[in-house]
Structure 1
Amino acid sequence: MSNLDLTGCKKRKRGDKVFKFKNFGENGYPAEFVGSSFRENVKALVEFGHLESNLCWGMLCWSFQLEVHRHPPLHVLLFVVEEPIDASVNRHCKQCHFVGWGKHMVCNKKYHFLLVSKESIVVEACTKSKCNFHYNIINGTDSGNGMSSINDLVDSQGNVMHGVFHSNGFGHLLCVNGVEKGSDLPGFLILEFWDRLCTALRARKVSLNDISQKRGMELRLIHGIAYKEPWFGRWGYKFGRGTFCVTHQMYNKAIEALQSLPLCLLIHHLGPSNHEIPLIFSRWSPKRVEMATKVIVEALKRVKSRWISRQEVRDAARAYVGDTGLLDFVLKSLGNHIVGNYLVRRSLNPVTKVLEYCLEDISNVLPNYQESLAMSNSKLKANCKVTRFQLMKDMFYLNKYIFKDPKFSTGIFSAIQVAVRIVLDSKYLIKEYFGEIPSKIDLGLEGKVNLYCTILKRKNKEMVMNNPSLPPYECITMRKNATIDELKLEVEKIFKEIYWSLRSFVVEKISNLNAKGNDLAIELVEVGQKLVFEGKNKDDDDEEEEVYESGPRKYVVECICGAKDDDGERMICCDICEIWQHTRCVGIPNSDQVPHIFLCTRCEQEIIHFPSLP
């Protein structure tokens, strides 16, 4: 088990560099970031960090002190922890598996980027030498000291951000804790910081599991309906993989369906309790209440959709209705209700602290006329402005009674629930920073060339990879007079450094190039050509499944939703056929515990049809 004791994280020398948070990661700040790969750039970055002392089990850690602003003073710490594969409790990566990168080969190293506040409990524990961090991204195994693996560090109160990279440049953003989680940094500043880091380090692709919330609302749903993309889409993150067999096409159609729903139709479908005055609690007859309502609506019509105070409405209506008790009852009950073709809005003025009323004409708000309505009612929108408080109230109402806990499950509401479920099941997002490296010979100032190479691994005379994809191409920088043999040795060195299963890899030939060992590479390689180096390990005793991030698959997934692989959602195994299915798909709510004994429908039916014993 790998332990890390950051005892010296506050024992800094006077004059240690303090970096600007808002500029950290830009080119030249702190490093030039001129490397062609993630490995080169992360090495350049940590040279500017403070190497922490009292490390154990061979794990290295560097820290950077970042100044968010000077007045009032606010600083955060960035820790960069290098986790060698030999120090990991589990060498495989579940994040890679869930997002669809399970066929990537296991890398030799992971780099954890942890952003914490200087006053956090994490730093306090480090300085008091009371904790050892187990940097394992997958499994949480208790160490007996209160901090069990990287998962506990992610959940700690003072942790602002945690991201991890594999040495091949693929990474995962594991957590972002903004202001609502007690951080001094808002979420968008943290994302901008992370985005600069990924760009500077030349990350290939980065994934995340979007479970972000805003005031208790699922942000990927609310933001998706409003802007056709999740909140993380502002930084280029897009649909990567859905759970429960949700596809990108299903996600797009669900977003379009939810966006096209007119709100007024939803209000009409919500039943009497939502748009009629509760006459059951009234001591006045329905006829008198109806008359008073019409008088108030007419008074609001005369001010042409302008917000007016409750007292003004009451005074205007008293000319026709003398019973002030009746007027008070109707005004109290009428807020945000539909009367005929009008929506009576009520809001508290944040300045005067007085209730105000406004009338909105919704007679023409139909699906086929939304564009014409937007053109013709510009004056109405200008006059009838909705306050921020009213907008938030409407959003909470929409989320609670339409999306989260609908009162109806038929008609239009059944379709809404299907679309909402699809959007919520689209959690895994991916951003491609530097994908396929441009395949060309780049002549440098010092007479060097960049060649783009990958490998194809064989086991004896057969290909070891059932996986048809090759590892990502790596940029190999060589002298322009380098020979093919020298190029082979450099390829071996680079790929051994990156991948755990290539520790004894030996290149035998170039699959797509007919060349001799003493030939000059630059004379044979054409501009834009990619090179594939074929070879094998000297001592290849590893099982094929151990080579990949998904690890050995000793289970079968066959769910009724169509899923054939583990997608990170809760599953249950049949005790007879041992096939795994989602608990949600077999009718077990997430709030319920998984039963100790479970039979799938197929096995249950087979048992029912067993011949009875005599």
Structure 2
Amino acid sequence: MLNVDVIGNKKRKRCGRVFRFKNFGEPGYPVMFTGPFRENVNALLEYANLESNLSMGMTMWSFQLEVHHHPPLHILLFVIEEPIETAVNRHCKPCQYIAQAGATISFAIRSTTSCCPQRRHWLPARAVTDAVMQLLQLIMGHMMHGVFHSNGFGHLLCVNGLEMGSNLAGNQIMEFWNRLCYGLQARKVSLNDISQKRGMEVRLVNGIAYNEAWFGHWGYKFGRGCFGVIESMYHKAIEAIRSMPLCLIIHHIGNSNHDIPFIFSRYQTLSDHSLVTLGDLFHYMLDLKSRLPRETCIGSYNTSSLVETNCRWSPKRIEMATRVIVEALKRTEFRWVSRQEVRDTARAYIGDTGLLDFVLKSLGNHVVGNYLVRRSLNPVTKVLEYCLEDISNVYPNCNEGLVMSNKVKDKYKITRSQLMKDMLFLYKYILTDPKPMIGSEFMSAISLAARIILDTKYFVKDYFGDVPYQVESASEGKLSLCCTVLLRNNVGPNKEIMPPHECITLKNNATINDLRLEVERNFREIYWGLRNFVVESIGNLNANNGIQMVFGLIEMGGKVVLEGWHGGIGTNMIEQICESDPNSGTIDCICGTIDDDGERMVSCDICEIWQHTRCVRIPNDEEIPHIFLCIKCEQEIIFRAKEYD
């Protein structure tokens, strides 16, 4: 509902211009975004190509964006306006899960590899009343699909990166989307993170590795959990798994699963620092994956520096110093000792302190014979410490020599594919599907925390929040106020309905009547349910009559609440204005959920209360039974039957 003049707009810039993808949406490119969201979209569309041959009541524009010039790669950004007055169901599902509202327009991009790409026209094949479903079918295979409402609230519906056949990586698409949201001055944007990679839920893997979901890199934070999960539960679950010591996991499952200790030691030798917790391990594995080129491998350690030809010490002297240091660490009974203590012990046999310093620096976190020489910085004393870890049970065929043999080196060469297999193995047998074993209570606690993280799918980013955009200064002859309307409703639990504030710009000599007219016009355009809205009074502004000047009564950027009448009362008004559907039934699940969270539900045939199918033990791959009774009604029937007996 943008009120764009799509026919004969004299202000529309000449079409056919190609924009740089990496700068599109920045201030001044292609236009300065200085107003509220709807005005910014109108200003942007003046530079778009108006697509022809569109029917069924939807209007579409397009932008041609150049990703790079050599080799040529262009993509198309489509903008589609969906007229909400023609929709059968005017409720937005993502809004119901995240609590946002408004009319919608959509943004989607499709790639093309030619210099002068032929534009793809979206021609809805069904009636306009099915526009939403048709739109969802059309965006399948696109790089990105996002929806904005007229009030600046929006939803990012999908991001398809390289693994989905796109020409752009996921982070490039997100950077573009982030620029677009900032440029248009969107308010809040939500998303449903169900992304997977190689059979692993990305939000779980990234949560363990980086303490946030993948979208958290762009500022998206906890919005709402499913199955009764709240924000504190989500953060505690992440911290519990991230801080889980690897040695404790090996203690519980090392005897029943020999692959996991092997994987732990493999990446410990690859790392230049100690991997103590599960968070350390996943963080290192993801960072290593980003550095590994495809179809190539790296060595597990860098001991070549010990025997470089240009080294001033001979290989024999380096081997002798290594043997002395390892023997000194053996006598410490596998406890952590400081670097100075190891150095002082070795000096009784090796007088060259420079050689000792060189070997100590090179040996950290490398395998020597049957031992892993671990090095770590003590977090309290800030002193480097060393320790030996016996890995002979992990590598039974390892040679007895102090310097690793070529066969062991080959074992530690790793490809990108092998790294993903190792991560998938850990994901399955530690996080999501631990096998019954001794200490299963410990492992079930990990899988429970992982389940809480997986039940958190909805994330939100607050771009501008309650301040729609930076208000203009009074010296420019304009006065900007943040206004909202208050609707009093005497029916239902919500007796007062108040949408988010909108920025209303007036002339400095505007009167109270001018303010009322401008508020009515704006809120009628933004909200379908307020198309008959009439302002009756101004709640927090001491105005005696309509011809009184606004300037002086309230300061620049101040917040004003205007009370008004909608023209209808009752649940019908609530249904038209609010995204929540009053006819959706009562939700009261045993997990604590009382609102629709987007998960599959079933209704009791007696009390008609909705519950999650997972909570009542109906598998997702099974159909919902034709007759379903909740536990409460089932017990009530049994109790009544016993009374009659």
TM-score after normalising by structure 2: 0.71
- What's the offset of the Cα at 1:15? 7.4
Report the equivalent of 2:109.
Answer: 115
Counterpart amino acid of residue 559 in structure 2 = K
Report the equivalent of 1:161.
Answer: 144
Counterpart amino acid of residue 504 in structure 1 = N
- CA distance in 2 between counterparts of 1:61 and 1:377 reads 65
| Deviation by residue 1:365-397 (Cα, 9 ceiling, x = unmatched) | 99x9887899425999xx999856464443222
Q: Return closer, same or farther for 1:17/1:378 CA change in 2, 3 Å cut-off.
A: farther
Confirm or deny: 8 A CA contact 2:80 2:107 kept in the other structure. Answer: yes
1:208 aligns to what SS in structure 2? strand
Confirm or deny: 8 A CA contact 1:440 1:451 kept in the other structure. Answer: no
Report the equivalent of 1:73.
Answer: 72
Report the equivalent of 2:184.
Answer: 201
- CA distance in 1 between counterparts of 2:548 and 2:213 reads 52
Counterpart amino acid of residue 28 in structure 2 = G
- CA distance in 2 between counterparts of 1:39 and 1:128 reads 23
- CA distance in 2 between counterparts of 1:439 and 1:200 reads 11
Aligned CA-pair RMSD? 3.7
Q: Within the alignment, does 1:408 sit opposite 2:402 as a pair?
A: no
Following superposition of structure 1 onto structure 2, how do residues 454-493 of structure 1 map, counting pairs within 5 Å? 454-458=484-488, 466=494, 468=496, 470-493=498-521
1:272 aligns to what SS in structure 2? coil
- CA distance in 2 between counterparts of 1:259 and 1:496 reads 49
Report the equivalent of 1:500.
Answer: 528
Confirm or deny: 8 A CA contact 1:305 1:360 kept in the other structure. Answer: no
Query: Which runs of 5 or more structure 2 residues have no equivalent in the other structure?
Result: 1-12, 261-299, 305-332, 336-365, 390-403
Counterpart amino acid of residue 232 in structure 1 = F
- What's the offset of the Cα at 1:432? 0.3
Q: Return closer, same or farther for 1:465/1:512 CA change in 2, 3 Å cut-off.
A: farther
Confirm or deny: 8 A CA contact 2:85 2:528 kept in the other structure. Answer: no
Confirm or deny: 8 A CA contact 2:41 2:184 kept in the other structure. Answer: yes
Counterpart amino acid of residue 548 in structure 2 = D
Q: Within the alignment, does 1:48 sit opposite 2:47 as a pair?
A: yes
1:605 aligns to what SS in structure 2? helix
Comparing 408-417 with 183-192, which one deviates more in the overlay? Answer: 408-417
1:56 aligns to what SS in structure 2? coil
Confirm or deny: 8 A CA contact 1:365 1:373 kept in the other structure. Answer: no
Q: Return closer, same or farther for 1:220/1:490 CA change in 2, 3 Å cut-off.
A: same
Following superposition of structure 1 onto structure 2, how do residues 67-216 of structure 1 map, counting pairs within 5 Å? 67-101=66-100, 104=101, 107=102, 109-118=103-112, 126=120, 131=125, 140=133, 149-154=134-139, 156-157=140-141, 159-216=142-199
Report the equivalent of 1:31.
Answer: 31
- CA distance in 2 between counterparts of 1:359 and 1:207 reads 53
1:250 aligns to what SS in structure 2? helix
Q: Return closer, same or farther for 1:415/1:137 CA change in 2, 3 Å cut-off.
A: farther
Confirm or deny: 8 A CA contact 1:457 1:464 kept in the other structure. Answer: no
| Deviation by residue 1:173-216 (Cα, 9 ceiling, x = unmatched) | 00001111111111000000000000011100000001111222
Confirm or deny: 8 A CA contact 1:134 1:150 kept in the other structure. Answer: no
Confirm or deny: 8 A CA contact 2:373 2:388 kept in the other structure. Answer: no
Q: Return closer, same or farther for 1:251/1:116 CA change in 2, 3 Å cut-off.
A: same
- CA distance in 1 between counterparts of 2:372 and 2:50 reads 65
Q: Return closer, same or farther for 1:481/1:220 CA change in 2, 3 Å cut-off.
A: same
Q: Return closer, same or farther for 1:197/1:374 CA change in 2, 3 Å cut-off.
A: farther
Confirm or deny: 8 A CA contact 2:371 2:388 kept in the other structure. Answer: no
Q: Within the alignment, does 1:223 sit opposite 2:206 as a pair?
A: yes
Counterpart amino acid of residue 152 in structure 1 = Q
Confirm or deny: 8 A CA contact 1:306 1:358 kept in the other structure. Answer: no
Q: Return closer, same or farther for 1:436/1:375 CA change in 2, 3 Å cut-off.
A: farther
| Deviation by residue 1:210-242 (Cα, 9 ceiling, x = unmatched) | 111122211100100111110000000000000
- CA distance in 2 between counterparts of 1:273 and 1:96 reads 47
- CA distance in 1 between counterparts of 2:594 and 2:369 reads 54
- CA distance in 1 between counterparts of 2:129 and 2:372 reads 57
| Deviation by residue 1:81-100 (Cα, 9 ceiling, x = unmatched) | 11111122310011011123
Q: Within the alignment, does 1:16 sit opposite 2:10 as a pair?
A: no
Report the equivalent of 1:280.
Answer: none
Confirm or deny: 8 A CA contact 2:38 2:150 kept in the other structure. Answer: yes
- CA distance in 2 between counterparts of 1:421 and 1:370 reads 31
Comparing 161-170 with 82-91, which one deviates more in the overlay? Answer: 82-91
- CA distance in 2 between counterparts of 1:575 and 1:430 reads 36
Q: Within the alignment, does 1:572 sit opposite 2:609 as a pair?
A: no
Report the equivalent of 1:57.
Answer: 56
- CA distance in 1 between counterparts of 2:369 and 2:523 reads 69
Q: Return closer, same or farther for 1:520/1:125 CA change in 2, 3 Å cut-off.
A: closer
The partner residue of 1:529 within 536, 558, 561 is: 558
- CA distance in 2 between counterparts of 1:361 and 1:193 reads 49
1:117 aligns to what SS in structure 2? strand
**How many residues are paired up?**
508
- CA distance in 2 between counterparts of 1:512 and 1:77 reads 47
The partner residue of 2:235 within 252, 255, 261 is: 252
Identity of aligned residues (%): 53
| Deviation by residue 1:253-295 (Cα, 9 ceiling, x = unmatched) | 0011001111232233225352399xxxxxxxxxxxxxxxxxx
Comparing 123-132 with 193-202, which one deviates more in the overlay? Answer: 123-132
- What's the offset of the Cα at 1:611? 3.1
Counterpart amino acid of residue 27 in structure 2 = N
- CA distance in 2 between counterparts of 1:467 and 1:82 reads 33
Q: Return closer, same or farther for 1:29/1:526 CA change in 2, 3 Å cut-off.
A: closer
2:143 aligns to what SS in structure 1? strand
- CA distance in 1 between counterparts of 2:163 and 2:126 reads 28
- What's the offset of the Cα at 1:582? 0.6
Q: Return closer, same or farther for 1:495/1:365 CA change in 2, 3 Å cut-off.
A: same
- CA distance in 2 between counterparts of 1:118 and 1:184 reads 9
1:509 aligns to what SS in structure 2? strand
Report the equivalent of 1:315.
Answer: none
- CA distance in 1 between counterparts of 2:334 and 2:131 reads 57
Report the equivalent of 1:518.
Answer: 547
Following superposition of structure 1 onto structure 2, how do residues 380-399 of structure 1 map, counting pairs within 5 Å? 389=416, 391-399=419-427
Q: Return closer, same or farther for 1:208/1:543 CA change in 2, 3 Å cut-off.
A: same
- What's the offset of the Cα at 1:526? 3.2
- What's the offset of the Cα at 1:421? 0.5
1:162 aligns to what SS in structure 2? strand
- CA distance in 2 between counterparts of 1:599 and 1:359 reads 65
2:106 aligns to what SS in structure 1? strand
